[in-house]
Structure formats: C-alpha cells, structure tokens
Structure 1
Amino acid sequence: MKSPREKSPGWNITEAERAVYRNRSQASSAAKAKALRGEGPKPIHPINVPKLHPEDLMPKLPSHGLRSLSLFSGGGGLDLGFDRAGFTHVASYDILPDAGKTLTQNRPDWKVFAGESGDVTQIDWRSYRGLVDIIHGGPPCQPFSVAGHQKGKEDSRDMFPEFVRAVLEIQPVAFVAENVTAILGKKFSSYVAEEIEKPLSEKYYLTKFILSAPDFGIPQIRKRVFFVGFKMDKVATKYQPPQGTHYWEDGSGSGPSKPIQLDLFSPGKPSKLHRCMGIREALGLPDIGFDALAPTIRSGLTGPRHTTSVLSSVSAQKNWEKLQIWPNGVAANREEAHLFVAKKGHFRLSVADCGMIQGFPEFWRIEGAVYMGLGQIGNAVPPPLAYRVAESIHQALS
C-alpha cells in the first residue's frame, strides 16, 4: 500500500531532473565512502558534545491518569512530550513502518500500529470510546505548506478530516492538532472553517494559538499552530495556552514572544524566563564570534525526492553559511560526520544533531535510513513544545 505522501503529484519529476539528482547522489556517496575509508581530507572538527539536553526542557512528571491516543505519530514528538507530562499512552498510529520502529525501539511497552495497520483511514475509532481522554496528532502539513504546493483539500495527503473523524467517533474530553501556520492564511480560511471548526464545534469548544520553538528553549526558528478543543465549557473557559519559558537575545534587543492567541483567552505573564542557546552553543561548537537560531529543519521526506539535506530555503542557506554549519549530506552519526569533511570546512550535522535541534533527547533513537530519520525529525512537533501543551491541558482538566 502506498502512503498518502507517495501519491502526491508533487513527487513526479522528469527523467532529466531525476538524472541530475542521481548524479549528485552518486558523487556524494563516492566522496563519503572515500572519507570513511580514511582517504578523504583530514578531519577538521572533533566529535561534538552538545551542551543542550532537551530532556531538561521537559522534566518527567508523575502519572496523573489521563490517557492519550496518538495519530500521525511519526518520530514521536507529541508522544514523547505527552509521556513526559504524565499522560498514559494508549496507542500510536502512523503509515510509515520506520516510524513504528522508532516508537517501538524507544518504548517497547507501547501499543504501536504502523504501515498498513497504521493507516488511519481504515480504522473504526468507536472501539476506543471511553478508553481515551486526549487525542493528539499532527496531520500531514504538506497540503498547506509552500513546499507541499498548498493544494489543501485537493491533496491526497490531506488527513485533517480523518483526525476530525477520530475525535467525533471517540469523543475524548480534549484534543490537540498541530500544523504549519500557513493553514491559517487567507487561502485556507474556508477550509479551516468548513473542515475543522464546523464539525468539531458541534461537540467541542475550540481555540487555536501559535507557539514559537525558541520560546521553549529549542534553538531553531519554528512556529506552529495548535488547535485545541475541550468538551466542557467550564474547562475551555479556564484554559491558558502554554507561556514561553525562554527568551532569545540576538543582539538586536529582541526578547521573548508571547503565544499568538487566535480565539478565546488572554495569555498570562510568565514569571521567569531562561536564555535560549544559539545553535552553535547548543551543538557544543567553538565560539566563532557569531551564533544564531538554526533555520527551520526541513523534513527529508519533503519535495520531489528523498534527501539527506535539512536546507529549507535560499535565506536558510545564507544563515547556515554564517553559522559555518553544513546543512546538506547529514551523516548517520557523529563519527561519520567527523570523518566526512564538509565544503569550506564547515561543521557537518548528524542525525542525532538534527534530533537535538528539534528537541529530541539523545536517548530517543530515530530508526531508518538517514533520509527517513530526517523525515521523522523534520515532521515532528518538538517534544518540549508538545510537553508544555500537554501540561497546559492537564492543568485545565485538573
């Protein structure tokens, strides 16, 4: 069975384009093999030891008994965040077999459905009614992102209606859905109103807000919208979106941003903020007199071909250049990144580094080939962000 991602017309490329990609890939593979045999340029950078430990951004909380079901689980960003916030895991669903391997490797006791069994379009969710308190998930963002051509409802990867169906069939006390901020643009206003808000508002009180990753200690430029719904009016009325725990100072005097509240409530004022690290500091790299937030990490599954690059745009390329970090040809591990010297002597990223930039702790192993690992990382909700959303929901329900 093909996943919705594989059916998109955006994956159709000409033979000439395919040949260009193939030649680049072959040349890179040959250079990498030579380097790993010790025949390439002498390594420049020692194996880095990151200074940022994402688990510190989401201290493990005791179990409080609320049960969560995960849809479109991917590499487990929401799953891990809710787990560390004290939620009891019920099950995870994802169409990618490697995502299932990642979740099972890290949490052998979890019930995980992946591949054909993780196809949410084939599930009768009514069997979970009464067994789930919270449903969370990030339906594929490609139908709404620029990289995915913004076809919205016409994109076969649009799974938001399936998330809505699961919520209405299970009827949990609350739900959380995450996506790219582009879904809130004028182009998709009728989609949001008709496909998301209209069917859900019959049984749920809805709010939506935008959170920025650096405000929660994650050294990456990344904003995401969260749709949150509660079944009970009194719970929805007292709900407060998570407040930033960190600030990023870029030398221009800019401080922390507030959650962009789009519907119901006035955000409270955080009492104490910690400094968010720049990406070089977080990676444990030497001081070069310049540091900044990492550009948004791109999914290795986005675009017309699988890629081991996390480069998302031309402007991102310029920022990576200033940071002296090479965003292409991400290595499987730090040892290989050390041996495979990047162009201009820049620091080469590893899968573990990209995971850390996205907020995954070192102990959370991402399974699969490099492109698949980057796909799971780039598509994930940063776990510390998920953790704070989970925490805010528990507080509202307490």
Structure 2
Amino acid sequence: MRAIELFAGAGGLGMGVSLAGFKPELVVEWDRWCCDTLRQNRKLEKSVIRSWPEPIEGDVRRVDFKSFEGKLDLVTGGPPCQPFSIGGRHMAYDDHRDMWPEAVRAVRETRPRAFIFENVKGLTRASFATYLGYILLQLQYPSLARQVDESWRDHQDRLQRHHTSGGRIEYRVVHQLVNAANYGVPQKRERVVFVGFAEGIDANWCFPRETHSLDALLYDQFKTGTYWDRLKLAVKDRVINPSLESRAGRLRERPDELAWRTVRDALEGLPDPEHDKSASAKILNHRFQAGARSYVGHTGSSLDEPAKTLKAGVHGVPGGENMLRRADDSVRYFTIRESARLQTFPDNFVLHGAWSEAMRQLGNAVPVTLAEVVARSVRDHLRAHAPFTGNA
C-alpha cells in the first residue's frame, strides 16, 4: 500500500507505518542530521527502511505533492511540535515553525484514502483549544484552503460556516491522546494522534484498544512478585515507588491487560556502559555519557517503571532528563542505544551525530511500536472497507 511520510525526523513514525505494510513513495525532512540518519540506515541490509526512497532534504513548503493525487493510500507525519510543546514558547499559529498548514496541503493535493498525523500532548492544552478545533476543521475540509490575504481566524469562521451549513465532509477525522506505555512501549509518552478516512470509505473505525496497563505491572510486582522473580532481582536492587506500592495494595485481582514494560525490561541484555565499557563498546551507539546529576524536577527514570518521556533537550540541557535512576538513587544518562530501545527502534538502527544530537532525534521521535499499532489498524480498515491501491 502506497504512502508518503512528511516531517520524517529519525524515522520512528515511518518505520512503524512500514512495518504495518505501507511503502513510502516520498519521504520529506528538513533537518540534515535526521536525513543523514535516514540515508545511512537505508544502506543497511536488514534495515526496516531499506526500501525507502532517498529522503528529500529541505523545506516541505517547496514540495509539490500534486503528482500523487489519487494514488496514495496514506499520508503520515508529525508536524513540528515546538509551537505547542510544554517546553516551548507556546506560540502556536504565530510560530513560523507551525507546519500544520503543510500537512493539510499534502492531504489536499494528494487526496489519500487515509492519513495519520501526530503531535505533542501540549496541543490539547486549554490555551490551544481554539487552534486544535481549527486544525480539525482543516483536516475535515482540506479543499477549502486559506486564501492569500485571509487571517487564520477568518479562515476558521469560513470553515465553521461550511460545516454548520451541511457541507460535504471530505475526511472523517478522530483524534485521541494516547499513552505509548499502554501499547507496550517502555516509556510514558503521551501523543495526540489524528486519523482520517476519506469520504466514501466506511468510517466505522476507532483507535486500537490499549493492551498494557500500570495496574497489571503493579499486580505482578507487589501481589505475586512474578516481575521480580522473572528478572531474578534481590530486594536491594529493586526500585520501589511507595505511592505505587500503596496503589497495588488496593488491587483485588489482576487486570486482563499485559503489564507495562519497564526500563529494566527494555535494557535487558545490554551491558552497563559505565562499569563495563569494553563490552559496551562492541554495541552500536552504546557509550557512557558522563555528567548526569539529579536535582529538583530532574530525578531520572525508575528502572522498574516505564521511562519518563524522553526529551529532545530544553533550556540548554542536551537530552533534558534522559537519565535512569538506580535503587541507591544514583543516576546516569541513558546511552543512545538505551534511548533507542525506549523508543522501540531496532537494535541495528544507527543514529547519526554526537550523543546530544542523537538524543535530540530520539526525543522528537514517535515510538515505532505505537506507530505500528495505529497504522496496522488503519491498514486493516482500508483493506476491509475499500479497494486499495498498489500491492497489499
């Protein structure tokens, strides 16, 4: 099934989409380090992105999508999130980095059967509610483009009038705030995901049901002890969160979901980069990074919970709080490889650039597993409810 990938970054969303059975015909990314990462991984024999086209390195505003009109099953992408990020300046529509208009333009010019876009949790903040509504209206009616001298608020008013007057909906759109940990990602990472299906396709679709839960993990840790037994962990090596232990005490039976995956689960099999440097040097992107320290608001990720959200770096701190916290409360930075595992990237995936640059790429990425779960559901719906283009 044919797709195009916008704002590709290091490839997290695109890899998940490819694993779900879509083949990108076009990949666009402006950042040269990300493009170098994509180019290098395209050359690897067993790479997930080996069949990807050479990425277009440049401004998406200069890309003409009209040649793909009516030929695509899917358009995907993560418009730059800085305008809405909690760590950013919150300028939204006044931020020149807001690329939602380009995502909508790609849909307008290609007319895909479906699209998947994602963005940061900050987009759901009350202060952005009006702009979120504006994004949804544009995605529902992409052909009603903003005119040259039209303000975004005037455009929004026109879209609302069209909507309330019974105008034909071009895409049926749903959006949802999802936590990647609830889908088997060893990281508590919340993203807003937008999925739309073209008019004429049965829109009887909903987001995939969550498969993992915190309570299932707590039951395995504090009720049965199977988590500790599986990992052969002595009491002194366990990282216990008192508030979660208290919550576990209120559980009466084990939930049906699988247990949340923890940092310790994700790092299984990797040598300690700080104390076993010789073994770590043999593993791709697994070098110790010195300088980690704990302070108020930056205490690291517990080994026995999913990691906190990996960050791309804020306030001049490369990698933000991308640290693990041991049972003795000591901390160290995650290596690039460990961070890649927390984002469910393949172990053979090469991140281009120094530690801070690679961490920036990973901190901006979508977990591959989360992307694959959503894309597989969209793929199955397209196959079941409408003829598809290209090969299955």
TM-score bracket relative to the smaller structure: 0.5 to 0.7
1:236-263 alpha-carbon deviations (Å, 9 max, x no partner):
1x212112222232442499xxxxxxxx
Taking the aligned partners of 2:328 and 2:185, their CA distance within structure 1 comes to 19
Pair 1:210–1:199, CA change in 2 (3 A) = closer
2:206 aligned to which of 230, 240, 253 = 240
Aligned to 1:113: 55
Kindly name which structure, 1 or 2, has the bigger radius of gyration based on alpha carbons.
2
1:284-323 → structure 2 map (5 Å cutoff): 284=268, 291-300=304-313, 303-305=314-316, 307-311=317-321, 320-321=324-325
1:226 aligned to which of 193, 209, 230 = 193
User: Could you list the runs of 4 or more consecutive aligned residues of structure 1 that deviate by over 6 angstroms after TM superposition?
Assistant: none
Residues 164, 196 of structure 1: 8 Å contact kept: no
For structure 2, which runs of at least 5 residues remain unmatched after alignment?
Answer: 44-50, 142-168, 219-244, 272-301, 384-392
Aligned to 2:39: 104
Is 1:186 the counterpart of 2:171 in the alignment? no
Secondary structure in 2 aligned to 1:99?
helix
For structure 1, which runs of at least 5 residues remain unmatched after alignment?
Answer: 1-65, 256-270, 326-343
Taking the aligned partners of 2:312 and 2:249, their CA distance within structure 1 comes to 28
1:113-192 → structure 2 map (5 Å cutoff): 113-116=55-58, 119-192=59-132
Taking the aligned partners of 1:321 and 1:352, their CA distance within structure 2 comes to 17
Report the Cα offset of residue 277 of structure 1: 2.4
Aligned amino acid, residue 257 of structure 2: L
Pair 1:160–1:254, CA change in 2 (3 A) = farther
Residues 197, 206 of structure 1: 8 Å contact kept: no
Taking the aligned partners of 1:170 and 1:324, their CA distance within structure 2 comes to 55
Taking the aligned partners of 1:230 and 1:324, their CA distance within structure 2 comes to 50
Is 1:83 the counterpart of 2:93 in the alignment? no
Report the Cα offset of residue 304 of structure 1: 4.8
Taking the aligned partners of 1:113 and 1:304, their CA distance within structure 2 comes to 30
Aligned amino acid, residue 365 of structure 1: V
1:202-221 alpha-carbon deviations (Å, 9 max, x no partner):
42111111211111111111
1:248-287 → structure 2 map (5 Å cutoff): 248=214, 249-250=217-218, 251=245, 252-253=247-248, 273-284=257-268
1:184-208 alpha-carbon deviations (Å, 9 max, x no partner):
2221121122244245334211111
Secondary structure in 2 aligned to 1:112?
coil
Taking the aligned partners of 1:347 and 1:324, their CA distance within structure 2 comes to 12
Pair 1:122–1:279, CA change in 2 (3 A) = same
Aligned amino acid, residue 198 of structure 2: K
1:322-337 → structure 2 map (5 Å cutoff): none
Report the Cα offset of residue 348 of structure 1: 3.9
Is 1:210 the counterpart of 2:220 in the alignment? no
Aligned amino acid, residue 379 of structure 1: N
Aligned to 1:71: 6
Report the Cα offset of residue 393 of structure 1: 0.2
Report the Cα offset of residue 322 of structure 1: 5.9
Residues 99, 114 of structure 1: 8 Å contact kept: no
Taking the aligned partners of 1:184 and 1:123, their CA distance within structure 2 comes to 29
2:29 aligned to which of 72, 88, 94 = 94
2:363 aligned to which of 360, 378, 383 = 378
Taking the aligned partners of 1:360 and 1:386, their CA distance within structure 2 comes to 11
Pair 1:186–1:347, CA change in 2 (3 A) = closer
Taking the aligned partners of 1:194 and 1:171, their CA distance within structure 2 comes to 20
Taking the aligned partners of 2:328 and 2:27, their CA distance within structure 1 comes to 38
Report the Cα offset of residue 275 of structure 1: 2.3
Taking the aligned partners of 1:254 and 1:79, their CA distance within structure 2 comes to 41
Pair 1:396–1:323, CA change in 2 (3 A) = farther
Is 1:359 the counterpart of 2:344 in the alignment? yes
Taking the aligned partners of 1:324 and 1:142, their CA distance within structure 2 comes to 35
Aligned to 1:47: none
TM-score (norm 1): 0.66
Report the Cα offset of residue 227 of structure 1: 0.8
Taking the aligned partners of 1:233 and 1:241, their CA distance within structure 2 comes to 20
Residues paired across the two proteins, number: 285
1:5-16 → structure 2 map (5 Å cutoff): none
